[in-house]
Amino acid sequence: MATELLQTFQSILESDARVVILASTTSKAFCSGADIKARNGVTEH
């Protein structure tokens, strides 16, 4: 499965995609992301 994910994400990097949505077929949940409003004023250093 890891190889398939790597290949998929490589294809996405080479495309014009701006958003990626991952969905699960199980009842377990995973969430990743950032609240843009909460990051207002946060520097990268």
Check residue 42 and give its pLDDT.
Answer: 66
Give the model's pLDDT for residue 14.
96
Residue 23: the pLDDT is 78
Integer CA distances (angstroms), 19 to 24, 26, 28, 42, in order? 17, 22, 22, 22
Residues in the chain: 45
The pLDDT assigned to 30 comes to: 66
pLDDT above 80 (res 44) = no
- At residue 1, the pLDDT reads 75
What one-character-per-residue DSSP string does 3-38 give?
HHHHHHHHHHHTS---------SSS--------TTT
- Does pTM surpass 0.75? no
Q: How far is it, in rounded angstroms, from Cα 18 to Cα 5?
A: 17
pLDDT tens digits along 7-35: 998 999 999 998 888 777 888 766 667 77
